[in-house]
Amino acid sequence: MQQLTIIMLKISKRQQQIFDFIQKNGISSNSQIIANLAEKEEKISRYTVIRELEKLLSEGVIIKKGKGRNIAYALPANASLLKFIDPEIYFKVSSDERKISKDEFNFEIFEEFQENLFSVEEILQLEKKNKTHQKRIAMLSPILLKKELERLSIDFSWKSSKIEGNTYDLLETEQLIKNQQQARGHSQKEATMILNNKDALKYILEQKSEFKKLTLAKIENAHALVVNELGVQKNIRKRLVGITGTRFRPLDNEFQIREALEKVIEIVNNKKIHPLSKALATVLLISYIQPFEDGNKRTARILGNAILLANGYCPLSYRSVDDLEYKKATLLFYEQNSAYYFKKLFKEQFEFAVENYF
């Protein structure tokens, strides 16, 4: 098994030791973990070990097996996909000098997405928050519901554009969407990008049930809405595209791109995979495949939200995500096939959405 190291922002030395032992030993009980720590002259109580394990479980880097006295801990099947690389350290090295694990598209990555990206504990936590959110929606009057949907639309249309370099601010975006008033000093293209994001979000809100199952046509339709009147070819690209800030090279021919998209569709339509994992996988993989000549990440965010809505989950506005950290998380997946940091941001944005909308 490939040696993995987790480098989390707030991980303790003891938590790293526990992780390393589980990785080496395989399925491990509390008593085995305590005995291993004792060999390192660690005087530690069972309660403390459980607390440390709960931290690792909440981070999704280990999973729990069994019940009662038979509880044990192991690494998830897709542990290599969820390895964490400290972005602050990683991006201190220039793109030309960074050691890239995968500078070309990795078709093997799809197998790792056949497992849930969220642990059972994470899913229970997020579902609890989503149920509270759904109860709030049920209590809203039609007028208040419309206002909240408009607020979500403004926030999403602004931020999904801003991540891609659009210079409209939030208030200017509100004026554009509410009053069709374009801001001075901005191009028509920027206004169109924002309005396209709004129209695409409106479409998936009105057609929720359509995205319980994903098809290639639905991916292309979402992209067509995102790039409408922007002079972008709407079909699957037939030539290589470059990505700023990385040496990673996406697929360069239409046939392999179609094959990769079919792999994404297979993941989304797999009933064994949790909807939150499907949405996260869609955002990451559509961005990774780069199936179109432009508008890929905007399309990815729309499709991720479509899958959430189709399954009764709150869509993300991405309003509070840091643009640079979002880009770093995406590049970490391109270059190292590590989804951990992007998953962390996605989870934070889902929690932000259920707590701040409706």
pLDDT tens, residue by residue, 103-112: 899 999 999 9
Q: Which domain holds residue 172?
A: 109-356
Question: What's the CATH number where 34 sits?
Answer: 1.10.10.10
CB-based contacts of 117, cutoff 8 Å, min separation 6: 60, 78, 81, 82, 276, 277, 280, 281, 339, 343
37 in the same domain as 168:
no
Residue 276 has pLDDT above 80, yes or no: yes
Residue 27 has pLDDT above 50, yes or no: yes
The confidence band for 11, taking pLDDT boundaries of 50, 70 and 90, is low
Joined tokens for residue 5: 């190291």
CA dihedral 67, 61, 276, 148 (to 10 degrees): 110
The confidence band for 84, taking pLDDT boundaries of 50, 70 and 90, is confident
Q: Domain end: 50, 75, 100, which one? A: 75
Residue 142 has pLDDT above 50, yes or no: yes
Residue 88 lies in a domain: no
pLDDT, residue 234, reads 92
How far is residue 61's CA from residue 193's CA, in Å, rounded to a whole number? 37
Number of domains in the chain: 2
Q: Domain end: 23, 55, 75, which one? A: 75
Q: Are 98 and 90 in contact (CB under 8 A)?
A: yes
CA angle 316, 308, 336 (to 5 degrees): 70
Joined tokens for residue 61: 């880097």
> Span 319-344, mean pLDDT?
97
pLDDT, residue 9, reads 43
49 in the same domain as 148:
no
Q: Which residue has the higher pLDDT, 276 or 50?
A: 276
| Backbone dihedral region for residue 185 (phi beyond 0: left; psi -120 to 50: alpha; all else: beta) | left
Q: Which of 1-10, 53-62, 283-292 has the highest mean pLDDT?
A: 283-292
Residue 7 has pLDDT above 70, yes or no: no
201 in the same domain as 157:
yes
Residue 208 lies in a domain: yes
Sheet strand arrangement including 63-65? 28-29, 72-74, 63-65
Residue 212 lies in a domain: yes
β-strands 63-65, 72-74 pairing: antiparallel
Residue 262 lies in a domain: yes
192 in the same domain as 129:
yes
Q: What is the pTM of this model?
A: 0.86
113 in the same domain as 230:
yes
Question: What's the CATH number where 194 sits?
Answer: 1.10.3290.10
Which three-class secondary structure state does DSSP give residue 64? strand
